[in-house]
C-alpha cells in the first residue's frame, strides 16, 4: 500500500502489523498533518465480529480525550475497507528505554505519574486497558508520555460476573467469550492469568510491574517459557529488594495477588510514596527512536497459555501445563498442524468465505488467512517453519507464511491424503485416495514413486517425516487385514516396517528437536495414545500410554485432530465437531411444519416409496458408532435397522422396499436388505471399491447410480444394474468432480452437479451420456432432486437456499425454465457428497436435515499442552 492513496490519506510507510490490522504512517492532505492509520485486513472486511471490534476501539479512544492517551481522529471507510485514523506518536517505547537499564528515580516517577494520569482518566469513564506494558507506553521527544493501544480495552460495566473455571486458564479465539485470557503474560494480574473477571485493579497490577521494570531495568516476572512465567505471576511473591526503599510500599499495594487487598484507585498511588516525590519532574527529552513505531505489535491480543511464549528448544522439565482453547462459533478447524518450532498453528477454515489456509501465531489471539489457498486440504509445514505445503485444485502447492503468491510444486494430486517436508527439501505425499506415495523436490519437478501398493485396493496415506530426516511414517488402508496398518520407511530404500495394525495418521514427537527417542502419537477409538519409540531402530521401546480421550477426526477417515511441535507443545481437539441435526418437514416456503426426530449427527435421508418412513444414517462421533435407522414419520419413532463400527454409512430406499447401503468401514461394499427387517438377510452386491457412495435408484428399481473417486479423474459417476451380472459402467468421468446424481422419473435423464466450470453447477444429461449436457443452475448449485411427476427439479444454491426449476421432458426432449427460489431459509443439505433433503412425490413438502437449534453436545475444544511429555510421565 506504500505510495498509494486511501481517501485523502497518502500512505508513506508501514509501521507494523497485528491481528486486528495493518498500521501505516500517512499524510492527511486536507489538514496537512502526519497520522497513523490502522486498516482492517482485506480478509476480514466482511467479518462483522472484527469490524465491530474495530469500531469499539474507535469509540473507546474517542471517549478518552486526554494528553497522556494517544488520540483518535476518526474512523473512515474507503470502498470496502474501514480504517482508524489515529495520532502518530513519535519517540521511544518504555520497552526500548528499559532495555538500556535502570531509569533514574525522579525520571521514572515522572513517567509513571503521567501513565497513572492517563489510566485514571480511562478508569473514570469505566474503561480498563487490560494490556498495559512497556511496549504500549511511549515517551515523545518533548518528554510527553502517551499510553497507546486500547485495542483490548473494555467498558467495566460490560463485564460479566465472575465465572467458574478450572485451574488452567481458558483460552478462546472469540474475543468476547467469558474466561478469555487477555494481555501479555509477564504483565497480567493473577486473576487475569486465571481467566477470571478483571476490573481496573488489573491495570494497577500492570502499572506496578511496569514501574518496577522502569526503576530496575529488569523483568519482574520471567521464566524459561510461558508456563514458568505464568507460575511466577500466580504464585511468586515479587522480590522488591532492588527498588528504592521509599517506593516499596507503593509497589506492594499495586502487586497484591488478591485484588481485594490491592490498591483500588490509580490516583491514590502517590499517597503510598514514603518520601516526597517531586510532582514537577518531567521526563528528559529523548531523541526520536531509530526503529519505526511498532504500534501494530501492541495489537497482538495475547492469550495466557500461548502468549509471550519464550519458545526455548527444551521446555522446563519441572512444569507441564494444559490450557483449553474454546473455538469461536464460526471456526471450522478441518485440518490443523503446529509448526516445527511450535510458534504457529496452520489450519484450514471456511470462516468468511472459501476454505483457506489460516495461520495463527501462538502469541496472538488473531489468525489470518493466506490468499491464494482457496480449497486447501492437508496443510503441512516446511522444516524451518517459514512455508506451508498444501493441496488445492488437484495440485500440490506451497506458500510463504510471510506472504506472496502460492507456487505449484506438482500438478497432479487430485484426491490427496497428506504430505510431509524434510530438511533436505524433499516432499513425500499421497496424490490420490488410492495408490502409493510419491516424492518430489520442494522446488518442483518430476515426482517419483517411494512406496508402491502391493494390492488392487490398497491406499497409502498420511506420510510424516521422523524428526525431519529421511525416515517417515505412513498408513496403509487395505481390504487385506494382514496388510493394513501403520508403517515406517526410508527414502534410502528398503522394505517398509509394519509398526502397528492400525491404519492411522501418526506423528513422531519429542520434547527437544533432534531427539531420536521419543513417542509415536496416534488415535485409537477416539483415544490419543503415545507409544515410546526409537527413531533409529524404528521400533517401540515401551508400553503405550493414553494421552487424551474423545479426540475427534480432522476432516477424513484415519486423520485425527492432533498435532505436536518439536519443542514439546501438543494440540488436540475433543468434542463433537459435527453439528447435530433434526429431521423436519418443511412446506414449499421453507416453513417448518413438524419435527420428526431428536437431534443427532445425521448424514443422509431417503424417503420410503409411500412417504411415511425414512431411512437415515448417523455419522459416528467419538461417542457413537455408525448406524442406519428407519424413522416412522407419523409417530416420530425410530427403529434401528443396522448398527456397526464403520466410519460412515449411506442408505437408499428402493422402489421395491429394500434398503441399499454402503459402509466406508467395509471397503465401500454395497449391501441390499429388506426394509422391514433389521435381522433380514444382508446380500452383498458386487464391490465397487473404496469410497463409493450410492446416490439414487431408478424408478423401475433396475439401476443404481453411485459416485466413486477415480484418482486423476476425481469423483466419477457409475451406473450398475441391480439385476443380472451387476456389471458397473462409467456414466461420467473427467478431470473434475461429478456428484449427487439423480435419475429422472422416466429414467432417461440424469441430473447431477459438477465443478467443470470452476464452480459447482447443476446439469442434466441423457442416459447413456452423449456429451450434450445442459446447465440448469445459474449462480452455482448442488444436490438436485426431481419431483415425482417430472414437472420440477430442485437444487441447493450456493447460498444454501432451495431452488426450483420448472421442467418438461420426454424420452428424447428436455425443456426447462428459469430457476426460482422457494426457501428463504438455508437448507445445508449434509456433507459435500450427501444430499440431505427429499421432496414428497407431489412436491408439497420436503423432508430435510436442519441444524438443531440447541444441542447438548459439548462445544469442540482444542487443548494446548505445554511440555506434554513431562506431564504424561507424572
Write out pLDDT tens, residues 601-612.
777 889 999 999
Residue 297: pLDDT band with limits 50, 70, 90: very low
Does domain 5-87 correspond to CATH entry 3.90.420.10?
no
Mean pLDDT score, 676-698: 70
Q: Which residues contact 465 (CB under 8 A, 6 or more apart)?
A: 420, 421, 422, 428, 471, 472
- Tell me what pLDDT residue 711 has: 53
Mean pLDDT score, 584-597: 86
Asked if 616 and 639 touch (Cβ cutoff 8 Å), the reply is: no
- Give CA–CA dist 652/753, Å, rounded: 19
Q: Does pLDDT of 160 surpass 50?
A: no
Quick one: cell of 213? Answer: 521494570
Provide, rounded to the nearest whole percent, the portion of the chain with pLDDT above 70: 74
Q: Does pLDDT of 170 surpass 50?
A: no
* Domains 331-561 and 581-851 in one fold: yes
Q: Which residues contact 484 (CB under 8 A, 6 or more apart)?
A: 476, 477, 478, 501, 503
**Catalytic-labelled residue, pool 10, 28, 47, 131:** 131
Name residue, grid cell 493414553: 546
Mean pLDDT score, 313-334: 54
Provide long-range contacts, Cβ within 8 A and 24+ apart, for 350-358: 351/47, 352/43, 352/44, 352/46, 352/47, 353/43, 353/46, 357/388, 357/390, 357/399
- Tell me what pLDDT residue 583 has: 87
Asked if 362 and 390 touch (Cβ cutoff 8 Å), the reply is: no
Span 225-280, pLDDT tens digits: 555 566 667 666 788 989 998 899 999 999 998 889 999 999 888 888 754 344 43
Residue 125: pLDDT band with limits 50, 70, 90: confident
Q: Does pLDDT of 832 surpass 50?
A: yes
Instruction: State pTM to two decimals.
Output: 0.51
Mean pLDDT score, 113-127: 89
Mean pLDDT score, 421-429: 96
493: left (phi over 0), alpha (psi -120 to 50) or beta: left
Pick the CATH number of 331-561 from 2.40.50.140, 3.40.50.720, 2.120.10.30, 1.10.260.40: 2.120.10.30
Residue 257 pairs in a beta bridge with: none
- Tell me what pLDDT residue 457 has: 67
Q: Does pLDDT of 179 surpass 50?
A: no
Residue 582 pairs in a beta bridge with: 850
Give, in words, the CATH class of 581-851.
mainly beta
- Tell me what pLDDT residue 296 has: 25
Angle between helices 200-216 and 105-124 (to 10 degrees): 170
Residue 593 phi, psi (nearest 5): -95, -50
Question: Picking from 176-185, 239-248, 424-433, 798-807, which range would have the lowest pLDDT averaged per residue?
Answer: 176-185
- Tell me what pLDDT residue 331 has: 52
Higher pLDDT among residues 420 and 374, named by residue: 420
Mean pLDDT score, 510-524: 82
Q: Does pLDDT of 626 surpass 70?
A: no
Q: Does pLDDT of 590 surpass 70?
A: yes
- Give CA–CA dist 247/175, Å, rounded: 36
Residue 670: pLDDT band with limits 50, 70, 90: confident
Residue 181: pLDDT band with limits 50, 70, 90: very low
Q: Does pLDDT of 19 surpass 70?
A: no
- Give CA–CA dist 620/616, Å, rounded: 13
- Range with the largest mean pLDDT of 309-318, 406-415, 544-553, 762-771: 762-771
Residue 857's SS3 state is: coil
Residue 84's SS3 state is: strand
Please give the mean pLDDT across all residues of the chain. Answer: 78
Provide long-range contacts, Cβ within 8 A and 24+ apart, for 356-361: 357/388, 357/390, 357/399, 359/388, 359/401, 361/300
Residue 154 phi, psi (nearest 5): -150, 140
Q: Pick the closest to residue 486 from 497, 494, 103 (CA basis).
A: 497
- Tell me what pLDDT residue 195 has: 62
Quick one: cell of 738? Answer: 461429478
Rg (CA), the chain: 31
Mean pLDDT score, 651-675: 78
Higher pLDDT among residues 19 and 580, named by residue: 580
Asked if 82 and 45 touch (Cβ cutoff 8 Å), the reply is: yes
Q: Which residues of 177-188 are buried (b: 16+ CB within 10 A; e: fewer)?
A: bbbbbbbbbbbb
Q: Pick the closest to residue 369 from 384, 349, 389 (CA basis).
A: 349
Strands 820-826 and 801-809 turn out to be antiparallel
- Tell me what pLDDT residue 579 has: 58
- Tell me what pLDDT residue 858 has: 47
Q: Which CATH superfamily is domain 98-299 in?
A: Transferase(Phosphotransferase) domain 1 (1.10.510.10)
Q: Does pLDDT of 113 surpass 80?
A: yes
Q: Does pLDDT of 725 surpass 70?
A: yes
Q: Pick the closest to residue 836 from 844, 846, 845 (CA basis).
A: 846
Mean pLDDT score, 15-32: 76
Q: Does pLDDT of 467 surpass 90?
A: no
Residue 558: pLDDT band with limits 50, 70, 90: low
Sequence ranges of the domains in the chain = 5-87, 98-299, 331-561, 581-851
- Strand order in 569-574's β-sheet? 171-172, 321-326, 861-866, 569-574, 562-564
Residue 422 phi, psi (nearest 5): -105, 175
131 a catalytic residue: yes
- Range with the largest mean pLDDT of 542-556, 658-672, 804-818: 804-818
Residue 304: pLDDT band with limits 50, 70, 90: very low
Q: Does pLDDT of 188 surpass 70?
A: yes
Question: Picking from 683-697, 700-714, 826-840, which range would have the lowest pLDDT averaged per residue?
Answer: 683-697
Span 54-106, pLDDT tens digits: 566 566 667 677 888 888 787 777 766 778 788 888 889 999 999 999 998 88
Q: Does pLDDT of 516 surpass 60?
A: yes
- Tell me what pLDDT residue 498 has: 93
Q: Does pLDDT of 286 surpass 50?
A: no
Find the farthest-apart pair of alpha carbons in the chain and give their distance in angstroms, rounded: 103
Asked if 200 and 246 touch (Cβ cutoff 8 Å), the reply is: no
- Tell me what pLDDT residue 307 has: 33
- Give CA–CA dist 455/458, Å, rounded: 5
Neighbours of 809 (CB within 10 A): 18
Residue 643: pLDDT band with limits 50, 70, 90: low
Residue 671: pLDDT band with limits 50, 70, 90: confident
- Tell me what pLDDT residue 294 has: 23
- Range with the largest mean pLDDT of 298-312, 342-356, 395-409, 635-649: 395-409
Question: Picking from 214-228, 296-310, 373-387, 545-559, which range would have the lowest pLDDT averaged per residue?
Answer: 296-310
- Tell me what pLDDT residue 318 has: 46
Exposed, middle or buried by CB within 10 Å (0-12, 13-18, 19+), for 155?
middle
- Tell me what pLDDT residue 808 has: 95
Amino acid at each position: 500500500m506504500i505510495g498509494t492513496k486511501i481517501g485523502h490519506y497518502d500512505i508513506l510507510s508501514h509501521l507494523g502489523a497485528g491481528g486486528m490490522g495493518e498500521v501505516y504512517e500517512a499524510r492527511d492532505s486536507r489538514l496537512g498533518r502526519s497520522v497513523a492509520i490502522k486498516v482492517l485486513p482485506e480478509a476480514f472486511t466482511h467479518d462483522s465480529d472484527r469490524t465491530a471490534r474495530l469500531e469499539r476501539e474507535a469509540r473507546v479512544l474517542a471517549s478518552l480525550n486526554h494528553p497522556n492517551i494517544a488520540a483518535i481522529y476518526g474512523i473512515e471507510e474507503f470502498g470496502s475497507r474501514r480504517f482508524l485514523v489515529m495520532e502518530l506518536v513519535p519517540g521511544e517505547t518504555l520497552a526500548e528505554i528499559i532495555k538500556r537499564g535502570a531509569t533514574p528515580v525522579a525520571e521514572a516517577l515522572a513517567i509513571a505519574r503521567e501513565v497513572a494520569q492517563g489510566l485514571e482518566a480511562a478508569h473514570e469513564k469505566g474503561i480498563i486497558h487490560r494490556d498495559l506494558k512497556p511496549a504500549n507506553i511511549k515517551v515523545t521527544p518533548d518528554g510527553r508520555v502517551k499510553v497507546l493501544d486500547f485495542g483490548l480495552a473494555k467498558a467495566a460495566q460490560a463485564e460479566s460476573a465472575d465465572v467458574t473455571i478450572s485451574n488452567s486458564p481458558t483460552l478462546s479465539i472469540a474475543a468476547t467469550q467469558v474466561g478469555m485470557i487477555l494481555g501479555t503474560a509477564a504483565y497480567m494480574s493473577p486473576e487475569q492469568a486465571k481467566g477470571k473477571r478483571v476490573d481496573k485493579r488489573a491495570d494497577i497490577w500492570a502499572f506496578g510491574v511496569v514501574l518496577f521494570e522502569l526503576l530496575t531495568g529488569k523483568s519482574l516476572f520471567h521464566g524459561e517459557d510461558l508456563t514458568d512465567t505464568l507460575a511466577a505471576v500466580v504464585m511468586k511473591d515479587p522480590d522488591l529488594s532492588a527498588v528504592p526503599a521509599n517506593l516499596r510500599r507503593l509497589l506492594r499495594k499495586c502487586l497484591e495477588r488478591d485484588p481485594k487487598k490491592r490498591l483500588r484507585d490509580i490516583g491514590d498511588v502517590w499517597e503510598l510514596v514514603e518520601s516526597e516525590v517531586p510532582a514537577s519532574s518531567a521526563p528528559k527529552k529523548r531523541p526520536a527512536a531509530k526503529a519505526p513505531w511498532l504500534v501494530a505489535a501492541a495489537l497482538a491480543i495475547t492469550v495466557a497459555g500461548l502468549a509471550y511464549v519464550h519458545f526455548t528448544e527444551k521446555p522446563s522439565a519441572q512444569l507441564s501445563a494444559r490450557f483449553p482453547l474454546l473455538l469461536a462459533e464460526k471456526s471450522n478447524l478441518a485440518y490443523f498442524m503446529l509448526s516445527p518450532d511450535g510458534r504457529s498453528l496452520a489450519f484450514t477454515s471456511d470462516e468468511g468465505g472459501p476454505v483457506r489456509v489460516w495461520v495463527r501465531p501462538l502469541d496472538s489471539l488473531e489468525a489470518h488467512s493466506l490468499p491464494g489457498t482457496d480449497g486447501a486440504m492437508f496443510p503441512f509445514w516446511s522444516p524451518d517453519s517459514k512455508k506451508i505445503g498444501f493441496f488445492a485444485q488437484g495440485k500440490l502447492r506451497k506458500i510463504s507464511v510471510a506472504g506472496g503468491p502460492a507456487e505449484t510444486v506438482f500438478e497432479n494430486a487430485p484426491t490427496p491424503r497428506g504430505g510431509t517436508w524434510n530438511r533436505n527439501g524433499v516432499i513425500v505425499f499421497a496424490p490420490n485416495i488410492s495408490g502409493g506415495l510419491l516424492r518430489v523436490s520442494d522446488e518442483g519437478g518430476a515426482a517419483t514413486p517411494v512406496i508402491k501398493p502391493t494390492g488392487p485396493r490398497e491406499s497409502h496415506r498420511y506420510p510424516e517425516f521422523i524428526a525431519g530426516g529421511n525416515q517417515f511414517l505412513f498408513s496403509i488402508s487395505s481390504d487385506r487385514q494382514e496388510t493394513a496398518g501403520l508403517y515406517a520407511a526410508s527414502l534410502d530404500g528398503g522394505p517398509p516396517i509394519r509398526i502397528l495394525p492400525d491404519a492411522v495418521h501418526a506423528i513422531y514427537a519429542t520434547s527437544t528437536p533432534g531427539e531420536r527417542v521419543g513417542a509415536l502419537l496416534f488415535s485409537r477409538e477416539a483415544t490419543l495414545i503415545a507409544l515410546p519409540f526409537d527413531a533409529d531402530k524404528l521400533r517401540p521401546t515401551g508400553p503405550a500410554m493414553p494421552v487424551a480421550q474423545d479426540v475427534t477426526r480432522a476432516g477424513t477417515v484415519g486423520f485425527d485432530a492432533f498435532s505436536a511441535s518439536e519443542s514439546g507443545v501438543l494440540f488436540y481437539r475433543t468434542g463433537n465437531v459435527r453439528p447435530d441435526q433434526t429431521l423436519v418437514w418443511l412446506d414449499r416456503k421453507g416453513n417448518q411444519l413438524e419435527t420428526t426426530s431428536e437431534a443427532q449427527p445425521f448424514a443422509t435421508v431417503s424417503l420410503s416409496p409411500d412417504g411415511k418412513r425414512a431411512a437415515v444414517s448417523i455419522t459416528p462421533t467419538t461417542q457413537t458408532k455408525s448406524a442406519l435407522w428407519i424413522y416412522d414419520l407419523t409417530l416420530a419413532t425410530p427403529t434401528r435397522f443396522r448398527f456397526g463400527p464403520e466410519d460412515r454409512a449411506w442408505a437408499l430406499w428402493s422402489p421395491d422396499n429394500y434398503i441399499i447401503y454402503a459402509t466406508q468401514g467395509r471397503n465401500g461394499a454395497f449391501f441390499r436388505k429388506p426394509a422391514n427387517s433389521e435381522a433380514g438377510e444382508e446380500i452383498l452386491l458386487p464391490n465397487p471399491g473404496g469410497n463409493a457412495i450410492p446416490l439414487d435408484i431408478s424408478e423401475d428399481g433396475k439401476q443404481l447410480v453411485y459416485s466413486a473417486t477415480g484418482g486423476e479423474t476425481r469423483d466419477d459417476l457409475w451406473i450398475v444394474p441391480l439385476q443380472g451380472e451387476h456389471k458397473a459402467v462409467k456414466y461420467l468421468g473427467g478431470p473434475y468432480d461429478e456428484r449427487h446424481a439423480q435419475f429422472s422419473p422416466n429414467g432417461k435423464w440424469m441430473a447431477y452437479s459438477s465443478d467443470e466450470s470452476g464452480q459447482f453447477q447443476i446439469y442434466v444429461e441423457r442416459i447413456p451420456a452423449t456429451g450434450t449436457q445442459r446447465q440448469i443452475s445459474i449462480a452455482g448449485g448442488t444436490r438436485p432432486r426431481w419431483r415425482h411427476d417430472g414437472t420440477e427439479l430442485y437444487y441447493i444454491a450456493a447460498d444454501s437456499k432451495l431452488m426450483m426449476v420448472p421442467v418438461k421432458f420426454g424420452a428424447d426432449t428436455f425443456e426447462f425454465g428459469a430457476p426460482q427460489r422457494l426457501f428463504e431459509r438455508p437448507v445445508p443439505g449434509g456433507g459435500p457428497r450427501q444430499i440431505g433433503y427429499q421432496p414428497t412425490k407431489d412436491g408439497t413438502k420436503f423432508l430435510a436435515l436442519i441444524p438443531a437449534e440447541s444441542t447438548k453436545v459439548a462445544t469442540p475444544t482444542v487443548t494446548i499442552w505445554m511440555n506434554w511429555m513431562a506431564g504424561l510421565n507424572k
